[in-house]
């Protein structure tokens, strides 16, 4: 069994009277690509924010494991790369300057950061854009910059929140290809998506979240077989037949500032 890197134990996360996650327990292992699949408001993003320490559980615990020793999730931050849905780039900096700034905060020298960045940028067909200002970047270009920023310090774990949402077909395909390559090279990627076809194509393991609870956890083929369905879409429908709860919204300004603080160490508003 591969090494456990993150351990979620009986976690419930509530916001006032709304329970986003209810008694969730799950382990994430080294060297796997895991898709958190569910509809809007299912609890996917809440789980990702717990995994990187942005949120604290209302009850239960989220721990990292380093050399099989349990540590507080905040002690895992240097080992985690995060790509939030809102990229939070500094518009007055180039793509490389955004990436370099993040690397320096993580204690990585420029040469090492540039070597990693250039390698992955070529896979994303983005190496010619690294020295361009991010002001005016398309959604796809911003997403690629955020992905390179998250990888620049060589994290053990990469957390992605809807990494292909809003991207054109070509850009989405490049991101999927990079995620699969990271998995094939022994990296650990955990990302939320509502795209079942994408999850089936890319992920070694799929966790279906519905109304704040985990309904299924396994390989795509296992979920299809267990529900006696012909494909993952039918399996998902079978496992989430009850009506989805009403989606709740949070203060996006507050959340954006929290992501900025996590990624850059500064809590100011986006530029």
Domain parsing of the chain, residue ranges: 4-263
Pairing of strands 213-218, 59-66: unpaired
Structural contact between residues 189 and 160, judged by C-beta atoms closer than 8 angstroms: yes
Beta strands 18-29 and 4-15, pairing class: antiparallel
Q: How confident is the model at residue 267 (pLDDT cuts 50, 70, 90)?
A: low
Opening angle at CA 247, ends 246 and 250, nearest 5: 135
Over 50: is that where the pLDDT of 271 sits?
Answer: no
Is the per-residue pLDDT at 268 higher than 60? no
The tokens describing 219, both together, are: 């390989």
| Bridge partners for 183 per DSSP | none
Mean pLDDT of 134-140: 91
Report the run of H or E that residue 236 belongs to, with start and end.
helix 232-239
Which band of pLDDT confidence, cut at 50, 70 and 90, is reported for residue 260?
low
Split at pLDDT 50, 70, 90, the class of 244 is low
At 39 the pLDDT is 87
> Do residues 203 and 34 lie in contact, with contact meaning Cβ atoms separated by under 8 Å?
yes
The pLDDT value given to residue 55: 92
* Confidence at residue 270, expressed as pLDDT on a 0 to 100 scale: 44
190 and 28 in contact (C-beta within 8 Å)?
yes
Q: Ramachandran region of residue 8, left (φ > 0), alpha (ψ -120 to 50) or beta?
A: beta
- Tokens representing residue 225 in the block: 């077989």
CA distance 215 to 239: 6
Helix (H) or strand (E) holding 10: strand 4-15
Biggest alpha carbon–alpha carbon distance for the chain: 53
pLDDT at residue 243, as a whole number? 62
Element (H, E) at 157: strand 157-161
Q: What is the pTM of this model?
A: 0.85
What is the structure's pLDDT at 269? Answer: 47
For 4-263, CATH number out of 3.40.50.720, 3.40.47.10, 3.40.50.300, 3.20.20.70 equals 3.40.50.300
- Other Cβ atoms within 10 Å of 221 Cβ, number: 11
Does the pLDDT of residue 248 top 80, yes or no? no
Confidence at 65, pLDDT banded by 50, 70, 90 = confident
Mean pLDDT of all residues in 251-260: 60
Of the pLDDT bands very low, low, confident and very high (cuts 50, 70, 90), residue 16 is: confident
| pLDDT higher than 60, residue 48 | yes
Indicate if the pLDDT at residue 12 is higher than 90. Answer: yes
pLDDT, one tens digit per residue, over 164-209 is 887 889 889 999 999 999 988 889 999 998 888 889 889 999 999 9
Q: What is the pLDDT of residue 66?
A: 78
Residue 191, strand partner residues = 35, 160
Cα atoms in the Cβ-side hemisphere of radius 13 Å centred on 232: 24
In angstroms, the CA 78 to CA 100 distance is: 15
Residue closest to 28 by CA, chosen among 188, 161, 224, 259: 188
pLDDT of 253 higher than 80: no
């Amino acid at each position: 069994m591969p090494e456990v890197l993150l351990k979620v134990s009986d976690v419930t996360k509530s916001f006032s009277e709304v329970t986003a996650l209810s008694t969730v327990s799950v382990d994430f292992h080294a060297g796997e690509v895991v898709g958190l699949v569910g509809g809007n408001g299912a609890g996917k993003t809440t789980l990702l924010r717990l995994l990187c320490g942005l949120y604290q559980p209302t009850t239960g615990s989220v721990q990292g494991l380093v050399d099989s020793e349990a540590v507080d999730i905040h002690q895992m931050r240097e080992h985690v790369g995060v790509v939030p849905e809102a990229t939070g780039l500094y518009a007055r900096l180039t793509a490389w300057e955004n990436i370099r700034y993040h690397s320096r905060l993580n204690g990585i020298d420029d040469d090492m950061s540039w070597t990693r960045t250039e390698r992955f940028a070529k896979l994303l067909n983005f190496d010619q854009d690294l020295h361009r200002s991010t002001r005016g970047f398309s959604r796809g270009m911003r997403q690629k910059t955020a992905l390179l920023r998250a990888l620049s310090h060589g994290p053990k774990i990469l957390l992605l929140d809807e990494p292909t949402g809003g991207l054109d077909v070509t850009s989405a395909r490049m991101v999927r290809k990079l995620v699969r390559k990271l998995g094939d090279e022994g990296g650990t990627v955990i990302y939320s998506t509502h795209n079942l076809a994408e999850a089936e194509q890319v992920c070694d393991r799929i966790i279906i979240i519905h109304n704040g609870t985990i309904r299924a956890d396994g390989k795509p083929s296992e979920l299809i077989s267990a529900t006696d369905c012909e494909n993952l879409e039918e399996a998902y429908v079978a496992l989430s037949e009850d009506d989805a709860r009403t989606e709740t919204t949070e203060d996006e300004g507050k959340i954006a500032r929290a992501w900025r603080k996590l990624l850059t160490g500064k809590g100011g508003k986006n530029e």
